[in-house]
């Protein structure tokens, strides 16, 4: 102890950087350095030292720079706080700009970007839906994908069995997901924090395993195909046009992009609906009770708030939006299988909510854009003979760690009061509880 | 004056520990009743039984509203004690919603009036169900209480950022926003300076008299004897889960059992020895 204290800061920083580089070597040596290539008869292990050296060097100098920065200015918390205030102020202008960009995207973006936009918006919607449960009510839900799956399968089964259309099935998908939300809610109401997380995780897996094994209903691992596409007031978007199609009605050339644009606007409208409902609920007694529940459950009970009912509404309303998103996913893909509803989906959506800032609508949208859009943009970028998209999860993890170190409460933290006498002022994140489930 | 709450042979046992031992006392309507006693006497346990946080091992807690409606508190589930029986409480360690503003804290307390059931809460999303006038009334009521506790200027500040004394007052105002017939205060004067204690006493007297709010009986646990002696109409003294004295502040102050409990059991024995000698 005294030995390290006596050493100069520079020597300590150097030693620290060296140790970090050693850890990096251990990790990257295996993850980046070793690669399996298809050989003549079997896979051949090849060794790539250059990317490893680069990664280790980045860690070494990065750590050194970080230590140097800390020595230079010991009051290291000032910068992030100023950043937080700036972010909050910028938020007022960023949201409308993003909305306009999204609304006009089909005017200037090609097919690839529209598809990417649909993907991002699906996650934005899921993030906003989960934000109700995790961000507002403070209930840690690791099985959100279950509601996504229930929504998708409800629509797929109803459409392929009874021939119902997307718009008829959408409320049905939401309703079924809400019922599952209540089903999950009831047994877990007594649980808090870690225990709640474990049970919701198990719930997500149970739903997936049931779907996988109930072959007569869900097709098991083969999934369900031939799910109908959505229509615009009865007009279809078939690739070859034909009578009753959108192109035929308006007398234009049938084009597959028309369907993509339509799907884009459908998910945009659904995401905005989710946003509108959650923003509205926040200003109403129900949303305020969720936030109060996150702050202090015991105090809520002493004020006569039915904690059970309040938690169930959070679960079921969050689930409803998950179900809507699921139905959209099914109609967009035209094919669903249990593989689309694994735990990693729950983890990604939760990561989006946490990164964005619990309870922050703009933060969640930004996080979804960066995490889903950003990681997709890595495709095709090749550095030192390495396609970056293969290291998507690694970069994902690094981004998570960096954000959590610099901004532990997410990109956009802080909370706007739901009601105020004067001009509402932002409440700093330090005062706001995160909820213990 | 009629009894608003009658505690009859209340017993609370935690495993082998007998925290409250067949305690009986009454809280009279329109009065301030103080429960005092040394640390560990079982005061907070009694509170937790009355407010539904503990289910008593045995005994009866009968609450009677002015209109004649009776409630057996020991059988009512937690939140309904506040909602239906209208018993409000504060906590020994302040439990405000720290990240919400003072105004929001008072709005949450009026939850059941703002949203009688889930359906009306969901209808309000679409602007249906006549939510607006109810919300307006709730804000007016919150303003009334903010004014009463002198926090009108800080209505939009987060509760967690308020000074300690203001947090204590806000917690009382929040409890009063459920329109209680009985307000249970767990050490409201703890940590307050003499001036703040004085303000608190005034506030409690105004609440009892109905000068602010609709008037309500108060049951209070307090260690600050200055406050207790000044505002209480009736004092109950507990020690080791049993009632050792019950009466007006003046009676209790002169009760030898109370003096013994507070100054140590030794006195009594010494007294016996003295008389024997």
* Interface confidence (ipTM) of the complex: 0.89
Instruction: Please name the residues in contact with B234: beta carbons below 8 A apart, sequence gap of 6 or more.
Output: B27, B28, B31, B32, B33, B34, B246, B247, B248
Q: What is the model's pLDDT at position A293?
A: 92
CB contact under 8 A, A286 and B95: no
Please check whether residue A315 is in contact with residue A139, taking contact to mean a CB–CB distance below 8 angstroms.
yes
Q: In whole angstroms, what separates CA A414 from the centre of its chain?
A: 19
- Tell me the C-alpha distance between A341 and A364, whole Å: 21
Question: The domain at B1-86+179-277 falls in which architecture?
Answer: 3-Layer(aba) Sandwich (3.40)
Q: Are residues A91 and A141 in the same domain?
A: yes
Q: State what percent of residues in chain A have pLDDT above 70.
A: 91
Residue A83 has pLDDT above 60, yes or no: no
Mean pLDDT of chain B: 88
Return the closest-CA partner of residue B171 out of B204, B140, B139.
Answer: B204
* Cross-chain CB nearest to B100 (options A292, A309, A425): A292
The DSSP letter of residue A305 is -
Write down the domain spans for chain B: 1-86+179-277, 96-178
Place of tokens 């998507």: A392
Q: Are B63 and B85 in contact (CB under 8 A)?
A: yes
Residues A183 and A63 in one domain: no
Q: Which of A13, A39, A72 is the C-terminal boundary of a domain?
A: A72
Tell me the pLDDT band of A51, cut-offs 50, 70 and 90: confident
Q: Which of B99, B112, B118 sits opposite A304 (nearest CB)?
A: B112
Q: Taking CB atoms and an 8 Å limit, are A301 and B82 in contact across chains?
A: yes
A268 & A389 share domain: yes
Are A419 and B103 a contacting pair at CB < 8 A? Answer: yes
Q: Is the dihedral of CA B75, B81, B86, B88 positive or negative?
A: positive
Note the pLDDT of residue B149: 92
Domain shared by A200 and A58, yes or no: no
CB-CB neighbors (< 8 A) of B102 in chain A: none
Q: What is the pLDDT of residue A286?
A: 93
d(CA A325, CA A411): 24
**A240 & A170 share domain:** yes
For residue A132, give the DSSP letter. I
Q: Does A298 lie at the interface with B, CB-CB under 8 angstroms?
A: yes
User: Tell me, what DSSP letter sits at residue B32?
Assistant: E
A108-112, A239-243, B24-28, B66-70: range with lowest mean pLDDT: A239-243
A:B CB pairs within 8 Å: 134
**Is residue B272 less than 8 Å (CB to CB) from chain A?**
no
Rounded CA gap, A306 and A314, in Å? 13
Check CB contact under 8 Å for A289 and B108.
Answer: yes
Answer yes or no: is pLDDT of A111 > 50.
yes
Taking an 8 Å cut-off on Cβ atoms, the answer to whether A303 and B82 are in contact is yes
pLDDT at A257 over 70: yes
pLDDT grade for A219, boundaries at 50, 70 and 90: confident
pLDDT given at position B218: 93
Nearest CB partner across the interface for B100, out of A295, A422, A423:
A295
Co-location of A297 and A389 in the same domain:
yes
Please report how many Cα atoms fall inside a 13 Å half-sphere around the Cα of residue A379, on the Cβ side. Answer: 7
Q: What is the mean pLDDT of chain A?
A: 84
Interatomic CA distance for residues A250 and A266, integer angstroms:
19
Q: How far is B152 from chain A (nearest CA, A)?
A: 9
Average pLDDT, integer, range A387-413: 78
Q: Cα-Cα-Cα-Cα dihedral of A91, B161, B121, A132, to 10°?
A: 50
Evaluate if residue A112 carries a pLDDT over 90: no
Q: Which of A84, A58, A141 is nearest to A403 (CA)?
A: A84
Sign of CA dihedral A59, A61, A67, A73: negative
Q: How much is the pLDDT for A180? A: 92
For residue A150, the model assigns a pLDDT of: 94
Does residue A283 belong to the interface with chain B, where contact is any CB pair within 8 Å?
no
- The pLDDT assigned to B272 comes to 47
Reply yes or no on whether the pLDDT at A133 is more than 50. Answer: yes
Q: Name the residue in chain A with its Cα closest to that of B94.
A: A299
Instruction: Give yes or no: residues A67 and A97 share one domain.
Output: no
Are A49 and A116 in a shared domain?
no
Contacts with A425 from chain B: Cβ below 8 Å? 156-157
Q: Please say whether the beta carbons of B263 and B43 come within 8 A.
A: no
Contacts of B97 in chain A (CB under 8 A): 291-292, 295-296, 299
pLDDT score at B275 = 45
pLDDT, tens digit (0-9, with 9 covering 90-100), for B9-37: 999 999 888 999 899 999 999 999 999 98
Q: Are residues A387 and A255 in the same domain?
A: yes
B182-217 residues labelled b (16+ CB within 10 A) or e (exposed): bbbbbbbbbebeeebbebbbebbeebbeeebbeebb
Mean per-residue pLDDT, A34-54? 83
> What pLDDT is recorded for position B271?
43
Contact between chains at B115 and A284 (C-beta distance less than 8 A): yes
Same domain, A42 and A187: no
A422–B contact, CB cutoff 8 A: yes
Alpha-carbon distance A86 to A76, whole Å?
17
- Asked if the model's pLDDT at residue A249 lies above 50, the reply is yes
For residue A279, give the chain B residue with the closest CA: B125
Q: Which domain holds residue A311?
A: 82-406
A277 and A348 belong to one structural domain? yes
Q: What is the CATH number of the domain that holds A142?
A: 1.10.3470
Question: Within chain B, which residues score under 70 in pLDDT?
Answer: 1, 265-277
Per the structure, the count of domains in chain A is: 2
The whole-angstrom separation of Cα A417 and Cα A428 is 11
Q: In B, residues 101-160, which contact A (CB 8 Å cutoff)?
A: 101, 103-104, 107-109, 111-112, 114-115, 118, 121-122, 124-125, 131, 139, 143, 155-158, 160
Sequence-separated (6 or more) residues with CB below 8 Å from residue B275: none
CA nearest neighbour of B162 among A364, A60, A431? A431
Whether A1 shows a pLDDT value over 50: the answer reads: no
What pLDDT is stored for residue A417 in this prediction? 84
CB A122 within 8 A of CB A325: yes
- For residue B163 the two structure tokens come to 């000074």
What's the CA gap between A280 and A287, in Å, rounded? 8
Question: At residue A212, does pLDDT exceed 80?
Answer: yes
Residues A263 and A323 occupy one common structural domain: yes
What number is the average pLDDT over the span A109-125? Answer: 90
Euclidean distance between CA atoms B13 and B21, whole angstroms: 8
Of the candidates A305, A422, A432, the beta carbon closest to that of B79 is on: A305
């Amino acid at each position: 102890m005294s030995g390290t204290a006596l050493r100069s800061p520079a020597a300590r920083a150097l030693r620290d950087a060296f140790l970090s580089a050693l850890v990096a070597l251990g990790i990257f040596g295996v993850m980046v350095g070793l690669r399996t290539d298809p050989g003549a008869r079997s896979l051949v292990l090849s060794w790539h030292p250059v990317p490893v050296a680069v990664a280790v060097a980045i860690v070494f100098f990065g750590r050194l720079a970080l230590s140097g920065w800390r020595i230079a200015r010991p009051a290291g918390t000032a910068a992030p706080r100023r950043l937080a205030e700036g972010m909050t102020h910028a938020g007022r202008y960023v949201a409308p700009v993003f909305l306009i960009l999204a609304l006009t995207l089909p005017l200037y973006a090609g097919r690839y970007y529209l598809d990417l936009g649909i993907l991002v918006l699906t996650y934005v919607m899921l993030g906003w839906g989960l934000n109700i449960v995790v961000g507002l009510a403070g209930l840690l839900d690791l099985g959100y994908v279950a509601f996504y799956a229930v929504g998708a399968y409800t629509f797929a089964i109803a459409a392929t069995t009874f021939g119902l259309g997307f718009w008829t099935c959408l409320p049905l998908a939401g309703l079924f997901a809400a019922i599952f939300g209540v089903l999950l809610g009831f047994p877990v109401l007594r649980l808090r924090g870690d225990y709640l997380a474990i049970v919701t995780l198990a719930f997500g897996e149970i739903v997936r395993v049931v779907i996988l094994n109930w072959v007569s209903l869900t097709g098991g691992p083969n999934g369900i195909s031939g799910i109908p596409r959505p229509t615009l007031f009865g007009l279809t978007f078939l690739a070859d046009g034909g009578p009753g199609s959108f192109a035929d009605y308006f007398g234009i050339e049938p084009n597959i992009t028309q369907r993509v644009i339509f799907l884009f606007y459908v998910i945009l409208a659904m995401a905005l609906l989710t946003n509108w409902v959650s923003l509205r609920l926040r200003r109403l007694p129900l949303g305020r009770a969720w936030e109060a529940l996150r702050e202090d459950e015991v105090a809520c009970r002493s004020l006569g708030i039915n904690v059970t009912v309040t938690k169930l509404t959070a679960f079921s309303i969050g689930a409803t939006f998950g179900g809507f998103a699921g139905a959209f996913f099914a109609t967009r893909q035209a094919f669903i299988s249990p593989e689309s509803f694994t735990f990693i989906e729950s983890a990604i959506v939760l990561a989006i909510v946490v990164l964005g800032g619990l309870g922050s609508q703009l933060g969640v949208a930004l996080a979804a854009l960066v995490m889903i859009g950003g990681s997709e943009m890595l495709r095709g970028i090749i550095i030192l003979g390495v396609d970056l998209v293969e290291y998507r999860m690694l970069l994902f993890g690094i981004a998570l760690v960096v954000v959590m170190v610099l901004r532990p409460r997410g990109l956009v933290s802080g909370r706007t009061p739901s009601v105020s006498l004067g001009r509402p002022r932002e409440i700093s994140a330090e005062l706001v509880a995160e909820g213990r489930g | 004056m009629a009894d608003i709450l009658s505690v009859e042979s209340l017993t609370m046992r935690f495993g082998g520990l007998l925290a409250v031992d067949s305690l009986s006392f009454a809280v009279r309507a329109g009065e301030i009743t103080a429960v005092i006693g040394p640390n560990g006497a079982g005061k907070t346990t009694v509170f937790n039984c009355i407010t539904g946080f503990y289910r008593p091992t045995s005994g009866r807690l009968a609450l009677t509203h002015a209109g004649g409606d009776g409630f057996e508190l020991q059988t009512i589930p937690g939140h309904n004690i506040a909602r239906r029986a209208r018993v409000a409480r504060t906590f020994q360690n302040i439990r405000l919603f720290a990240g919400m503003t003072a105004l929001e804290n008072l709005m949450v307390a009026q939850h059941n009036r703002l949203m009688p059931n889930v359906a009306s809460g969901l209808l309000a999303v679409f602007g249906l169900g006549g939510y607006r006038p109810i919300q307006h009334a709730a804000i007016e009521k919150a303003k009334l209480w903010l004014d009463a506790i002198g926090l009108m200027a800080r209505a939009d500040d987060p509760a967690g950022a308020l000074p300690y004394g203001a947090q204590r007052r806000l917690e009382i105002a929040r409890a009063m926003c459920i329109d209680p017939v009985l307000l249970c205060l767990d050490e409201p004067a703890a940590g307050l300076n003499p001036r703040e204690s004085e303000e608190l006493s005034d506030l409690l007297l105004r609440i009892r008299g109905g000068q602010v709010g609709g008037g309500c009986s108060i049951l209070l646990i307090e260690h600050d004897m200055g406050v207790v002696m000044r505002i209480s109409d009736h004092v109950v003294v507990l020690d080791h889960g049993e009632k050792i004295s019950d009466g007006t502040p003046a009676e209790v102050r002169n009760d030898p059992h109370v003096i013994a409990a507070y100054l140590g059991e030794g006195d009594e024995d010494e007294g016996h020895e003295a008389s024997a000698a």
